Amino acid sequence: MEPQSEPWPNQFPAPHGGPRMQEPAPPNGRTNSRAIAVVAAFAGLVLGAAAASGAWLLFGNDGAETGNVSAPARIGDYYRLADVPKVRSADNQTKTVARQKRWDAESSARLSASHDGAGAVVQQYATEDLESMLTLEVVRAPSPFPQYVPYSDPEDLGIDKPFEEVLEFGDVACAVRNSPGQPPTVINCLRTSGNLTVSITRVGGDMGQRPEDVAGLVDVAWSQLD
């Protein structure tokens, strides 16, 4: 009668034809509490990061909201370019309107992407006589306020004003470019809150040299979007 082998410990399955390796015992017969603590801490970090990532995906980042944004039909004396009667009635402007619509759509997508997918719209406007145009940019996310402009010291340059500066009109900040002996030229005017930014830029005609009036148009647009 063949001798019976002792049963293998439960931790390891019995090997085929060979001695079994015994499970090493922890030092002093105790589990390594430090190693367990490290593993637990690492697992907590992983779970925390996963939870934070999930929240970012659900709610966006830094106040960004993914809801759609519609450009106002009119901002003061400015109409959406495709709605200007002179443009709408001119047969030779069809391609121009279609091209600008495509450009605005691409710009809207870029503006959205730059704010973590927040809802955004970019729309070009013009006066009825087409003497002045501007671009409205709206995104459902906050922006730095006031906006950044590079520093220059007018005393070093022997001029009255810096090359660029920010002028504030109530809740609106306008970045302007100064030239000696000339009115300031608007770079952009911006108003922002925790979940909305409205900006007007690329202002043509005389309006582009009246930052206080451009700031007023930002407030008009804001009132239709807030």
**Contact by Cβ (8 Å): 154, 160:** yes
Residue 76 is predicted with a pLDDT of 96
Contact 136, 203 (CB under 8 A): no
Neighbours of 82 (CB within 10 A): 18
User: Containing H/E element for 109?
Assistant: helix 94-113
Output the pTM of the full model: 0.70
Give ∠ CA 128-133-138 in degrees, rounded to 5.
Answer: 115
Cα distances (Å, whole numbers) of residue 114 to 37, 46, 64, 101, 149: 41, 27, 11, 20, 19
Per-residue pLDDT 10s for the chain (226 aa) are: 444 444 444 444 444 444 444 544 554 544 454 444 443 444 443 334 333 333 333 334 456 667 788 999 999 999 999 899 888 777 667 888 899 999 999 999 999 999 999 999 999 999 999 999 999 999 999 999 999 999 999 999 999 999 999 999 999 999 999 999 999 999 999 999 999 999 999 999 999 999 999 999 999 999 999 7
**Helix (H) or strand (E) segment spanning residue 136:** strand 133-139
Cα 104 from Cα 98, distance rounded (Å): 10
Residue 64: its pLDDT value, please?
64
Could you tell me the residue ranges of all domains in the chain?
27-59, 74-225
Distance CA 46, CA 39 (A): 11
Question: DSSP string of 41-103?
Answer: HHHHHHHHHHHHHHHHHHH-STT---------SEETTEEEGGG-HHHHT-GGGHHHHHHHHHH
- Give the pLDDT of residue 52: 35
> What is the structure's pLDDT at 62?
57
- What is the C-alpha to C-alpha distance for residues 188 and 175, in angstroms, rounded to an integer? 5
